[in-house]
Structure 1
Amino acid sequence: MRIGIFLVAAQFPGREPGRVLADAVELVVAAEAAGFDDAWIAEHHFMSYGVCPSATTFAAVAAGRTSRIGLGTAVSVLSTWHPVALAEQAAMLHHLSGGRFTLGVGRGGPWVDLEVFGTGLVRFERGFGELLQVLVRALSGERVSADGEFFGFREVPMVPAATMRPVVACTSEATLALAARLGLPMLLGMHVDDREKAAAVAAYERVRADAAAGGEDGVAGPGMAGHVAAAVGYVADSTRQAVRELAEAMPRWLEPGLAGYLRVDGRPRPPRDVGAYVDFLTRVHPVGSAAHCAETIVATAEATGLRHLILLVEGAGDHRRTLENIRRLGAEVLPEVRAHERW
């Protein structure tokens, strides 16, 4: 298995965004020392839920502070990027990091970002497939061109060129089917449990098989390996203690943070029961004693077939406690998971 950390650069009350970002880089350095395989950062705009507006910039800084750990975006919001510009950023990071960078992209939501960046609601609603295909072409060869509804330009060289395969956040059937047809790995979120993750993997394989049987170009055989799943990861001396600490801390971040999602059309965002959501996260993810965390990770792998898990480690809202969480996960949980793989 590959096990990484997942950072959103969460701004808990009383914390200054610049300090949050600096601390997040330190968490990547700590994760490398603790033996994690990779570190992934989320991109958000105009909100306290996550204060990193450029996951690629963060990855560049983290690459300069580390030497071994993989780095990824989870995700760069493709709906607010030009796909070729994002491909250029990814190619630079690929070369400058020595091949340690993975680009994760997602559709995002109908948020005010679309208005601010001028990409618009129409492109968000029906342009993601075109966006993703242009991005894939830009990362699969030396040259790229486009002739579609939203992008049309002559063939140009990619400088620098890099052959990369982006990971796609899949939260809808349409996006899952698109990723499957393109043979791109999925990124599955924290909001779904093992049963739903397993169903997504099975649906992906069905789409691949059906498309291949139907003779679709570029689709042959089962999907490529490499799916990634996000989960909360938090270790304490007992499971009761770990659950209690997150139940006390996470709502202080999530309640104001989730309120920062402003729809571009002005409609209110449906409310979420934050307490119930935190209860769900602590029940289904590796939150607890070291033994419980290791058992939960192994159970997820066995139930879903997924072999790459990234753990949200910032739930306590305290930087020193998060550093301790990373160290303990690395020292007490990762060895148990890897020992199980050898059985």
Structure 2
Amino acid sequence: MRFGIFLLTARFPHQDDAAALARTVEAAVAAEHAGFDDVWLAEHHFMSYGVVPSATVLAGHLLALTRRVHVGTAVSVLSNQHPVALAEQAAMLALLSGGRFRLGVGRGGPWRDLEVFGTGLPRYETGFAESLDLLLAWSRSDRVAWRGEHFRFREVPVVPRAAVPPPVVVACTSAASERIAAERGLPMLLGMHVGDEEKAAAVARHGLPDAPHVSTHLAQVADTREEAVATLLAEMPRWLGPGLDGYVPVDDRPRPPRDPVAYTRRMCDLHPVGSPDDCVESLVTTAERTGVRHLLLLVEAAGSHRATLDNIARLGAEVLPKVRTSLS
């Protein structure tokens, strides 16, 4: 089993961006001390839901501050950047960290990033597979030339080149992305919006059940389940609601609003939220039902700096050892 923390770096009420980033850095260091295996960073643009516009830049900072944990991106968005530039950054981070960097990539959404960065809707709608293929080719070759629908260039040398490329995992929220990952032999990164049955079905559709898939979960420890749920219902909608407003479609397509309170309730029902024993049971059940042995835990949902650090400490001391023992 591997356990990581997943950090959105959301801007909480009455907090500025500097405080959100400082909280994330402290949480990553705390996770290493608490016995987690890795730290994963979200990437967002133009919204308070997450104030990290470059997961690779922050990953480099965290890799320099830590010694044991791996650091990954969850995810770097391929629709709004050049895959060669991302592959170069990934190779450099792998080399500088002694192989502790992991690259999660995703298609992203039809958001205004596509306009600001000039990649446009076609990269989102039809370009993900080619972007991924180019990134993989760059990571695995000494020299690369390309002639595709979205990218075209003459042969150039790959510099820097990591002898062992960083592991790549693909965010999958649809059967189409599952097929893209499976055809390339890549593991999936499964999101928090679905439960164990849906994740088990995705693993079955993917066709490579023994691949090192990764599953994300909300996790909140308290003395009782009632206390943990009450904390999240009181605090999570306060930062989640304004954050969700940042998802603005680039083409003004209709986007149904999401009720942050109802969403929080659903997350509490799906994920390890409750006493230490409740969380142990939930995580063990997920691993047994899905076959996934790498779980990422969103630890900052309670909406404060202190609550995040306390949650990491309790998960590390009271939950992870029992889960590892149960599944060993």
Question: Is 1:299 matched with 2:285?
Answer: yes
Aligned to 1:69: 69
For residue 251 of structure 2, the aligned residue among 240, 261, 265 is 265
> Structure 1 residue 12: deviation in Å?
1.3
The one-character-per-residue Cα deviations of 1:290-311 (angstroms, maximum 9, x if unpaired) are 0110110000000000000000
Aligned to 2:219: 233
Aligned to 1:247: 233
Aligned to 1:215: none
Structure 1: tracts of 5 or more residues without a match = 206-221
Aligned to 1:208: none
Contact 1:5 1:31 in 2 (8 A): yes
- Matched residues in 1 for 2:43 and 2:292: separation? 24
The one-letter code sitting in structure 1 at the alignment partner of 2:105 is V
Question: Is 1:202 matched with 2:204?
Answer: yes
Aligned to 1:57: 57
> Structure 1 residue 276: deviation in Å?
1.6
> Structure 1 residue 253: deviation in Å?
1.1
**Greater mean alpha carbon deviation, residues 28-37 or residues 271-280:** 271-280
Instruction: Report sequence identity in percent.
Output: 61
**SS in structure 2 opposite 1:92?**
helix
> Structure 1 residue 267: deviation in Å?
3.0
- Matched residues in 1 for 2:311 and 2:288: separation? 24
- Matched residues in 2 for 1:107 and 1:341: separation? 33
The one-letter code sitting in structure 1 at the alignment partner of 2:124 is F
Contact 1:79 1:108 in 2 (8 A): yes
The residue correspondences of 1:14-163 to structure 2 (distance < 5 A) are: 14-162=14-162, 163=165
**SS in structure 1 opposite 2:71?**
strand
**SS in structure 1 opposite 2:109?**
coil
Contact 1:183 1:224 in 2 (8 A): no
The one-letter code sitting in structure 1 at the alignment partner of 2:80 is T
**SS in structure 1 opposite 2:212?**
coil
The Cα RMSD (Å) is 1.0
Contact 1:262 1:268 in 2 (8 A): no
The one-letter code sitting in structure 1 at the alignment partner of 2:97 is S
Contact 2:6 2:39 in 1 (8 A): yes
Question: Is 1:278 matched with 2:257?
Answer: no
- Matched residues in 1 for 2:47 and 2:324: separation? 37
**SS in structure 2 opposite 1:161?**
coil
- Matched residues in 2 for 1:47 and 1:114: separation? 14
The one-letter code sitting in structure 1 at the alignment partner of 2:10 is A
> Structure 1 residue 78: deviation in Å?
0.6
Contact 1:313 1:326 in 2 (8 A): yes
Aligned to 1:183: 185
**SS in structure 1 opposite 2:39?**
strand
> Structure 1 residue 224: deviation in Å?
5.6
> Structure 1 residue 341: deviation in Å?
2.2
> Structure 1 residue 273: deviation in Å?
2.1
- Matched residues in 1 for 2:326 and 2:184: separation? 33
The one-letter code sitting in structure 2 at the alignment partner of 1:68 is R
> How many residue pairs align between the two structures?
326
**SS in structure 2 opposite 1:103?**
strand
**Greater mean alpha carbon deviation, residues 269-278 or residues 49-58:** 269-278
The one-character-per-residue Cα deviations of 1:130-175 (angstroms, maximum 9, x if unpaired) are 1010011011122222110111111211111122331100011111
**Greater mean alpha carbon deviation, residues 323-332 or residues 134-143:** 134-143
**SS in structure 2 opposite 1:196?**
helix
Contact 1:144 1:158 in 2 (8 A): yes
Contact 2:192 2:217 in 1 (8 A): yes
- Matched residues in 2 for 1:166 and 1:143: separation? 20
The one-character-per-residue Cα deviations of 1:19-69 (angstroms, maximum 9, x if unpaired) are 101110110000000000000000000000000000000100101110000
- Matched residues in 1 for 2:327 and 2:168: separation? 27
TM-score, normalised via structure 1 length = 0.93
- Matched residues in 2 for 1:328 and 1:103: separation? 28
The one-letter code sitting in structure 2 at the alignment partner of 1:331 is A
The one-character-per-residue Cα deviations of 1:214-264 (angstroms, maximum 9, x if unpaired) are xxxxxxxx4662110100011011111001100111101111100111110
TM-score, normalised via structure 2 length = 0.98
- Matched residues in 2 for 1:39 and 1:256: separation? 25
Question: Is 1:311 matched with 2:313?
Answer: no
**SS in structure 1 opposite 2:266?**
helix
The one-letter code sitting in structure 2 at the alignment partner of 1:274 is P
